[in-house]
A and B are shown apart, each in its own frame.
Chain A
Amino acid sequence: MTASPERWRMIGRATATLLAAAAFYETVAQSGIFPGVLVPTLPKVGHTLVNLLGDGTMLRHVFYTLVRVMCGFAFAIMVGLPLGILMARIRAVENFVMPLASALMPIPSLAWVPVFILWFGLGDTVTILIVFYAAMFPMLLNTWTGVRAVNPLWLRAAGAMGADEGALFWKVIIPGASPFIITGLRQAFQRSWIAVVGAEMLAASDWGLGWVIFDAKEFLNADVMMASLTVIGGIGYAFERLVFGSLERVTVLRWGMVRATKG
């Protein structure tokens, strides 16, 4: 994508919003209404962030969190994608899975943390399972809807050209459902990212972005907490815009299956 004047204006507007919010925060922090330890000024947060990045601890926290989120997210795709397709293609699977999904979906993933800790103990198993739980349903439901939304004419045309079940699956159903599948991936990742931080607060030990925030509370290190929050937000933003935004641009946007929003 080339940086058109339109795009620069958009970036400008986004920056202005962020700057306004930062200025408001800074005013409150400087005013002394709250103790400085609890509401650290932005330069202090920045300083802490640079230090944490410099000595490598922040990168290590990020690494642990990313590994957990990626494992859970990957499992969710490996289960949710095929299961969603099967649900849309086979009535019996839909009849079996749908009630289960409807019953489990409304339960917040974090509500499972204590149960999982009892079952699996503290550590990575619990966080990965929580991420899996959070990511699974958006993946499943979007895939299920996407496959049902595949234009029957494509299936008919492909069948007339001699496509067997395998070819129908890989060359028609998957690309045909891709706008929904990509939405599923996106939502699943957002849920994963939220869930991993929460799960780490309760179930992780020593490393992880969620853990570091929770741990900093013990020592009134609000600057560390704010620095970690910035990193969490930054990574989430990067995934949303760079990874999924690019994925969308090279697939469904390029194929005209979804349209770019007009400025």
Chain B
Amino acid sequence: MSDIEIRDVSLVYDTPSGPVQAIDNTSIRIAASEFLCIVGPSGCGKSTLLNLVAGFLSPTRGEIRIGDKPVTGHGMDRGVVFQDFAQLFPWRTALGNVTFGLEMKGVARDEREKIALSHLALVKLEKFAHSYPHHLSGGMQQRVAIARALAYNPSVLLMDEPFAALDALTRDAMQRLLAEVWRATRKTVVYVTHNVAEAVYLADRVVVMTPHPGRVKIELPIALPRPRDPLSVEFLQCQKDLLRHLGSETAAADAPEICIDNVTKP
């Protein structure tokens, strides 16, 4: 598994009304096998930052490295999961979707189906291997997307609000599943969300971003033991702390910072 280094990265969009600073001089280091969540209000550049790491966009300034390799365009060292269910190819079965990356790698048919089935089993969908995406629920489709992003064995998994469009119950189940998958595969994960409870449940460390221009406000390590109990006092305390940093002062009283060992300013 690879570490990721985002160093002094800026991105300026050219729009009809002039240049817009989407990301301003941002540096984040992500350790190998770390689960990093990026949270922030909409427009804070968190998805843009993920797209930079994915290689869909190129930074105006600065550099991103994965392992020892600088990022130039997309590469098979990264798996990407998007928010939209429509990311799956409707003309391929669940199995066909998961084998796609292996097919591109030139893996033989029997071999890639075996690997794909094991990844569908990882997300508990082996029974639906031969279903087309439109016969699967939203949660199942996102699980296929996760299996698809993992199947060709990238060292990094990039996730852009993958559960944001799911109902609350499914989302809880999906978060538990993802925590298990992460424990089993030890990928380095960069996970963008605007859901505070989700970030506290999943992350080793949370990066809070602020908009206009997008930059890192603060980094909070989440030192809670796993598996985490979303109803524990410590968990709720972490949520409060995070909410306070996000600027929702009303939600956070003057509570002691239990879970935060050290707050590092970038």
Contacts and interface: CB of A to CB of B under 8 A. Distances in A.
Nearest to A257: B90
Nearest to B55: A160
A157 B104 contact: no
Given A153-B84, A162-B104, A167-B104, A256 B90 contact: yes
B13 interface: no
Contacts of B78: 160
Chain A interface, DSSP helix/strand/loop, else mixed? helix
Interface string B66-83: 000000001110111010
Contacts, number: 67
B80 A157 contact: yes
B152 A161 contact: yes
Contact of B74 (A160, A167, A171): A160
B133 A256 contact: yes
A114 interface: no
B132 interface: yes
- What is the interface residue range for chain A against chain B? 20 to 34
- What is the interface residue range for chain B against chain A? 20 to 34
A260 to B, nearest CB: 12
B91 A161 contact: no
Contacts of B103: 167, 171
Interface in B33-79: 54-56, 74-76, 78-79
Given A160-B56, A163-B100, A167-B103, 19 more contacts: A151-B86, A154-B86, A156-B80, A157-B80, A157-B148, A158-B100, A159-B74, A160-B80, A160-B149, A161-B104, A162-B105, A164-B104, A167-B104, A171-B103, A175-B89, A178-B91, A255-B134, A256-B134, A257-B90
Interface of B: 54-56, 74-76, 78-80, 82, 84, 86-87, 89-91, 100-101, 103-105, 132-135, 148-149, 152
The 8 closest A-B pairs by CB, nearest first: A256-B134, A161-B101, A162-B104, A175-B91, A160-B80, A255-B90, A255-B91, A162-B76
10 contacts: A156-B56, A156-B82, A157-B89, A161-B104, A161-B148, A162-B75, A162-B104, A162-B152, A171-B103, A178-B91
